[in-house]
Structure 1
Amino acid sequence: MQYDDAIKNRLRRIEGQIRGVYTMMDSEKECKDVVTQLQAIRSAVDRTIGLLVASNLESCIRMELKKGNQPDNVIREAVDLLVKSR
């Protein structure tokens, strides 16, 4: 699977957020502020996972339909991936 630049950019932003948490910890910010930032990171990761699975699912469904197959297994696998990610 090819990963587009939008997904990579999201991951770079998440990486920056994580570095920001280290900075917050080094400067002894309040626990509440650090946890709030970590929750934002988790949310960004969850959204990225959703976009990645959706993009892959679309590609796999098109491939299965092109082969004349029903995409039931592909859809099931995608749902399983999303469930496991939580």
Structure 2
Amino acid sequence: MAKRIVLSDKPETDLATDPKLLGAAVRFVRTSAGLTIEDAAALAGVSKQTLNDLERAKPGTRMETMFKVMESLGIKLKIELPGL
């Protein structure tokens, strides 16, 4: 029997970016696409535990891993530089 995917709430993406917001965005896109955590981890080439840690903003998650997962899900990160 297939696992049931529960759609997560869409995060407020106009807020300052932090690990919790990035994790929430990853979870939202993953669940919106109907992907289990196992399937999304396989798609990104990371372990299920790593993806779970990333979605929960667990300290110690590598930035390189975050970008790898975001790219696999089609998530883009915008950088705004201060006016100098």
Same fold flag (TM > 0.5): no
Structure holding more helix per residue = 1
Larger Rg: 1
Give the structure-2-normalised TM-score: 0.31
Give the structure-1-normalised TM-score: 0.31
